[in-house]
């Protein structure tokens, strides 16, 4: 008979609960309202930028698309994902998922606390090579 010592707690796999403090169990209707508002705000911000820079901004089916002709050609996609109550961003070589925070009343990237608008400003600066840019 082989007897093995009990496993130490330190050897137990660590369980991470993603999204625990964010998207604090908001309803789908609340999520939709927050997501629509956030996408509308980004559409306005990118629309203002499009007056000065060579970009195309479009919202279709609740999904924001921003096509960059100036600087490095590229495309940003901002889309709500109701099933997980997140706003997903595909931009440059990044894929980011933002959760609603009741504390800040904004969509926030849990990994670093960056808000959706802050992240989109940063990504746009990188895309256009202009650190003075703000959405």
pTM for the full model?
0.80
| Domain residue extents for the chain | 23-128
Q: Which CATH architecture has domain 23-128?
A: 2-Layer Sandwich (3.30)
116 in Cβ contact with 104 (< 8 Å): no
β 55-60/63-68 pair status: antiparallel
Rounded to whole angstroms, how far apart are CA atoms 5 and 27? Answer: 47
Give pLDDT tens digits along the chain (135 positions).
444 444 444 444 333 333 444 445 789 999 999 999 999 999 999 999 999 999 999 999 999 999 999 877 899 999 999 999 999 999 988 899 999 999 999 999 999 999 999 999 999 999 999 999 988
β 106-109/55-60 pair status: unpaired
Nearest to 124 by CA among 61, 64, 81: 64
């Amino acid at each position: 008979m082989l007897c093995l010592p009990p496993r130490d707690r330190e050897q137990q796999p660590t369980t991470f609960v993603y999204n625990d403090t964010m998207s604090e169990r908001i309803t789908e209707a609340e999520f939709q309202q927050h997501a629509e508002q956030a996408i509308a705000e980004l559409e306005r911000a990118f629309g203002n930028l499009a007056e000065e820079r060579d970009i195309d901004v479009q919202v279709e089916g609740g999904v924001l698309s921003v096509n960059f002709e100036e600087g490095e050609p590229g495309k940003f996609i901002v889309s709500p994902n109701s099933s997980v109550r997140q706003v997903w961003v595909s931009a440059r070589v990044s894929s980011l998922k933002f959760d609603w925070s009741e504390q800040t009343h904004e969509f926030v990237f849990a990994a670093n606390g960056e808000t959706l608008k802050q992240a989109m400003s940063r990504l746009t600066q990188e895309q256009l090579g202009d650190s003075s840019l703000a959405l």
